[in-house]
């Protein structure tokens, strides 16, 4: 594990205290894949639906961790309004025809995709060492 991955793992551990299952996933999370998914699936939808990008650097590592744990994607009241849903194979399949990244990652298991996105968001948080935009 290189220094970058060690720092990421440490950051994930910091915000995932008490969540053994998530920690186990974090060790294998691929923030690079999470980055591509975040930029090409999440941001595309945010720009359309919310009219703005929501970059990882808009929140702290702890806030991203808490947000992911709460798993409440938005306040629309929609039945599927969870982060878990928007990273799931079900969602990816539903937009695969119009979104190449969703199509590319169709076979990635739900838990893995969620962990990847979580890892990228936390590694790019505003109090991280590498705050990330959506560009």
The site for another protein (CB under 8 A) is made up of 2-4, 7, 30, 32-33, 36, 40, 44, 47, 52, 57, 60, 100-101, 104, 126-127, 129-131, 135
CB nearer another protein, residue 110 or residue 127: 127
Count Cβ neighbours within 10 Å for each residue of 58-78 and write b for 16 or more, e otherwise: bbebebbbebbeeeebeeeee
Q: How far is the CB of 32 from another protein (least distance, A)?
A: 5
The C-alpha atoms of residue 73 and residue 82 are separated, in whole angstroms, by 4
Q: How far is the CB of 135 from another protein (least distance, A)?
A: 7
CB nearer another protein, residue 78 or residue 106: 106
CB nearer another protein, residue 3 or residue 20: 3
Q: How far is the CB of 129 from another protein (least distance, A)?
A: 6
Which 8-state DSSP code applies to residue 58? Answer: G
The C-alpha atoms of residue 76 and residue 129 are separated, in whole angstroms, by 33
The C-alpha atoms of residue 121 and residue 60 are separated, in whole angstroms, by 9
């Amino acid at each position: 594990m290189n220094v970058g991955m060690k720092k990421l793992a440490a950051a994930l551990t910091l915000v995932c205290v008490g969540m053994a299952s998530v920690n186990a996933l974090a060790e294998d999370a691929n923030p690079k894949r999470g980055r591509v998914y975040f930029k090409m699936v999440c941001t595309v939808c945010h720009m359309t639906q919310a009219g703005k990008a929501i970059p990882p650097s808009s929140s702290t590592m702890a806030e991203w961790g808490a947000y992911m744990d709460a798993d409440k994607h938005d306040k629309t009241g929609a039945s599927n309004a969870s982060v878990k849903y928007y990273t799931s194979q079900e969602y990816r399949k539903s937009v695969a025809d119009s979104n190449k990244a969703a199509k590319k990652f169709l076979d990635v298991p739900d838990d893995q995709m969620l962990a990847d996105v979580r890892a990228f968001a936390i590694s790019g948080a505003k109090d991280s060492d590498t705050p990330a935009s959506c560009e």
